């Protein structure tokens, strides 16, 4: 049956969109969705849902200071959000301005960086940054942390820590892999002591993750491209978990998307890659047995992925339950633990 955008819509009261994190990372609620069964838990209960030999797969990407403000040659104001670096001195970016900048023009960003607009690339612009310093280092010095558009405030000092996972290492994302925000060192140690094993991959989240789906017929939608790396140790850990009968639990849709992209030919292939994988109900998952994830925007590709993993009707019921029970939604909100629904 063809799927339309309306199949992934739901009503969300605006006051349920979390604007701030809770004082403690593990204090969030956790909705457990196992087939058609729902259970209200706390995120701190996660060790009760896992057993020794299970493998958690985390995305260790780190959010860049990817938002910059400035002016054009003409004096008009601009806001730049880096989509992704494409070299030591160039990046694809979204540029918000009253009139789009022309290729060859300059942007003066944060009163410090004279940036050249090289070309237009669809909805993005290719920008060249000055000097010999690495682009990522320039962003860390001059840019600001980019909170998602549904958080209606500027980033504060507390967000510098709370909008990063405690295990963030590899710089390159413009949005946090938010399922991981619920873990703190104490919870990780409790899980280790229980015999739960950990593996790491990197998928750098692009600004395209917040772009709306603009077509009603989903067969015409094209995903934004994202870079990922599956270390050899992680590929080995996944094989070992399967061999011993442990479950593979993806922490976040980004981890799951990277795993599935790396497994398109069968076994998970270690190494770097790029993916435009668009996961809809009907997709046959090859990797994870369970998924830890936050609640996602209506009509978003992330909600489509979760619906494919947990089953469309199961996820509809889960979201309706979460709204009725006043769960907190989106990046700083509550979480779900979803068991894979096999087709």
Output the pLDDT for position 20: 98
* Residue 27 clears pLDDT 80, i.e. is over it: yes
Other Cβ atoms within 10 Å of 171 Cβ, number: 18
Mean per-residue pLDDT for 162-189? 97
Other Cβ atoms within 10 Å of 37 Cβ, number: 11
Output the pLDDT for position 60: 98
% the chain with pLDDT above 70: 99
Output the pLDDT for position 99: 92
pLDDT tens readout for residues 115-149: 999 999 888 999 999 989 999 999 999 999 999 99
Output the pLDDT for position 96: 94
Output the pLDDT for position 2: 81
Output the pLDDT for position 260: 97
* Residue 207 clears pLDDT 80, i.e. is over it: no
Please list the residue range(s) of the chain that carry CATH number 2.40.10.
Answer: 67-142
Tokens of 138: 């320039």
pTM over 0.85: yes
> Could you name the CATH architecture of 5-63+158-339?
3-Layer(aba) Sandwich (3.40)
Q: Which pairs count as long-range contacts for 159-168, CB under 8 Å and 24+ apart, including other chains?
A: 162/21, 162/25, 162/332, 163/21, 163/63, 163/331, 164/62, 164/63, 165/58, 165/59, 165/60, 166/25, 167/58, 167/60, 167/200, 168/60, 168/61, 168/62, 168/63
Output the pLDDT for position 312: 96
**Mean confidence (pLDDT) of the chain:** 95
Output the pLDDT for position 123: 85
pLDDT tens readout for residues 48-100: 999 999 999 999 999 999 999 999 988 899 999 999 888 899 999 999 999 99
Output the pLDDT for position 40: 98
Looking at domain 67-142, its CATH class is: mainly beta
Is residue 202 very low, low, confident or very high in pLDDT (cuts 50, 70, 90)? very high
pLDDT tens readout for residues 226-244: 899 999 999 999 999 999 9
* Residue 190 clears pLDDT 80, i.e. is over it: yes
The CA distance from 128 to 135, in Å, is: 9
Output the pLDDT for position 343: 62
Residue 159: enclosing H or E segment and its boundaries?
A: helix 159-162
Between strands 124-128 and 90-97, the pairing is antiparallel
Mean per-residue pLDDT for 292-313? 96
The CA distance from 110 to 324, in Å, is: 44
The 8-class DSSP code of residue 149 comes to: T
């Amino acid at each position: 049956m063809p799927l339309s955008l309306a199949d992934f819509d739901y009503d969300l009261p605006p006051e349920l969109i979390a604007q701030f994190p809770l004082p403690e990372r593990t204090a969030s609620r956790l909705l457990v969705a196992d087939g058609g069964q729902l259970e209200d838990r706390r995120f701190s209960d996660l060790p009760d849902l896992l057993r020794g030999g299970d493998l958690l797969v985390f995305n260790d990407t780190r959010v860049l200071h990817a938002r910059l403000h400035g002016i054009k040659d003409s004096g008009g104001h601009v806001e730049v959000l880096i989509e992704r670096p494409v070299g030591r001195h160039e990046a694809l970016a979204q540029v918000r301005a009253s009139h789009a900048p022309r290729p060859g023009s300059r942007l003066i960003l944060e009163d410090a960086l004279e940036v050249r607009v090289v070309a237009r690339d669809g909805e993005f612009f290719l920008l060249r940054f000055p000097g010999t310093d690495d682009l990522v280092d320039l962003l860390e010095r001059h840019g600001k942390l980019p909170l998602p558009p549904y958080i209606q405030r500027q980033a504060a000092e507390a967000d510098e820590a709370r909008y990063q996972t405690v295990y963030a290492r590899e710089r390159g994302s413009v949005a946090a892999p938010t399922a991981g925000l619920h873990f703190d060192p104490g919870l990780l140690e409790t899980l280790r002591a229980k015999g739960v094993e950990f593996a790491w991959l990197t998928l750098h989240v692009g600004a395209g993750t917040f772009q709306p789906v603009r077509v009603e017929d989903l067969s015409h939608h094209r995903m934004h491209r994202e870079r990922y790396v599956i270390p050899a140790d992680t590929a080995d850990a996944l094989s070992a978990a399967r061999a011993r009968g442990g479950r593979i639990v993806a922490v976040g849709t980004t981890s799951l998307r990277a795993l599935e992209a790396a497994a398109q030919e069968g076994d998970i292939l270690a190494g770097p890659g790029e993916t435009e994988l668009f996961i809809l109900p009907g997709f046959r998952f090859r990797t994870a047995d369970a998924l830890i994830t936050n609640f996602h925007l209506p009509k978003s590709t992330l909600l489509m992925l979760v619906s494919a993993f947990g089953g469309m009707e199961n996820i509809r019921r889960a979201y309706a339950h979460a709204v009725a029970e006043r769960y907190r939604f989106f990046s700083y909100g509550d979480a779900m633990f979803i068991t894979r629904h096999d087709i």
